Amino acid sequence: MITVVSLFSGCGGMDLGFLGGFEFLGERYDKTQFDIVWANEINSAACATYKMNIGNHIIEGDINSVMNALPKHADVVIGGFPCQDISINGKMLGIHGKRSSLYTAIVEAVGRIQPKVFVAENVGGLLLKQNKASLKKILEDFNGLGYGIHYQSYLASDYGVPQTRERVFFVGTRSDMPEFVPPKPQNEKPITAQQAIGDLETLDANREFSHIWSLANVSKEQGNRHLIADRPGYTIRAECHGNIQFHYSLPRRISMREAARIQSFPDSFCFPSKLRETERQIGNAVPPVLAWHVAKAVESVIERKAYDQG
């Protein structure tokens, strides 16, 4: 197995992608060689979701307070560091914002563990001109670890996720490892919102299945667009305050299960929290299907190294 340490794990979207072994909209995403041996998240409700779906190895608490509990060795370090200060929907404080500056925890963890590969994820807005200084500093810090860095933006809808979510993945490879080759786009025709959630239209509200929705009226706040049936969904966001987008044909906002579908969570993934907290967890997550494609590319790096060593 390839051992993995996970930081800023949330409810487990990236971790599920790295583990594989799930189905989404009829497609099978095979189990990988990765084994997550240690994970961390500060939000207790997200930890509860993680334990229910991924495993009990997650440690709840501020990353800075549990850093000394990190394993001494692991093959891979992964983490989607908080993005609210970089997002175009945030305050645009860049890495100087309190939350987005937490990427330095990934830097420290990589420095301590010296994994073969690390993966850090953030919003596509990090590549915008106004975040140029933040990007430069992040690259300097990652490069300072002695790793070769590959970074690029991925449009989730190109990889089997029914959502126009854009994210940046930084992949660092240790100097003795082969170069990372990013996964190629997988589908010429994106999965539409109707293809993703159409079968749920006639389903009554079901709390156990997380098929529950906000009753918030239209307001000037975020998230008030209607889905378009024949296009992928809009970005599922964490800070909508109940103003998550509306269904394309039904007179209601989309349900948490529909949001989870648009984020590419399998229906077997359970969310034990109430509506608002579930909304936050789903919006904060890395889409598992996108994470799986990145994970397979990381797996290939490690396999090529093992092959070269014969």
**Domain residue ranges of the chain, discontinuous segments joined by +:** 2-184+287-309
CA distance 148 to 172: 5
Are the C-beta atoms of residues 249 and 188 closer than 8 Å to each other? no
CA distance 46 to 19: 18
pLDDT for res 84: 52
pLDDT for res 95: 47
pLDDT for res 101: 62
Exactly one of 11, 83, 240, 270 is catalytic; name it: 83
pLDDT for res 97: 44
Query: At 82, is the pLDDT very low, low, confident or very high (cuts 50, 70, 90)?
Result: confident
| DSSP class of 274 | -
Rounded mean pLDDT, 26-51: 98
Above 90 in pLDDT, residue 237?
Answer: no
CA distance 157 to 257: 18
DSSP string spanning 137-203?
Answer: HHHHHHHTTTEEEEEEEEEGGGGT-SB--EEEEEEEEETTSPPP-PPPP--SSPPPHHHHHGGGTTP
Return phi, psi of residue 284, to 5°: -80, -15
pLDDT for res 70: 97
DSSP string spanning 41-55?
Answer: ES-HHHHHHHHHHT-
Between 54-68, 180-194, 230-244, 278-292, the lowest mean confidence (pLDDT) is in 230-244
pTM: 0.93
Helices (H), ranges, the chain: 13-19, 44-53, 63-66, 103-113, 132-143, 193-197, 256-262, 275-284, 288-309
Q: Indicate if 83 belongs to the active site.
A: yes
pLDDT for res 231: 98
More confident residue, 84 or 159: 159
Above 80 in pLDDT, residue 239?
Answer: no
Are the C-beta atoms of residues 227 and 254 closer than 8 Å to each other? yes
Are the C-beta atoms of residues 103 and 95 closer than 8 Å to each other? yes
235 three-class SS = coil
Pick the CATH number of 2-184+287-309 from 3.20.20.70, 3.40.50.300, 3.40.50.1110, 3.40.50.150: 3.40.50.150
Paired strand residues for 149:
172
Tokens of 195: 């293809």
Above 60 in pLDDT, residue 162?
Answer: yes
Rounded mean pLDDT, 102-126: 92
pLDDT for res 7: 97
pLDDT digits (tens, 9 = 90+) for 183-233: 999 878 999 999 999 999 999 999 999 999 999 888 776 778 899 999 999
Above 90 in pLDDT, residue 14?
Answer: yes
Q: Chain-wide mean pLDDT for the chain?
A: 91
Contacts of 119 (CB under 8 A, 6+ apart): 76, 77, 78, 79, 169, 170, 171, 172, 294, 298
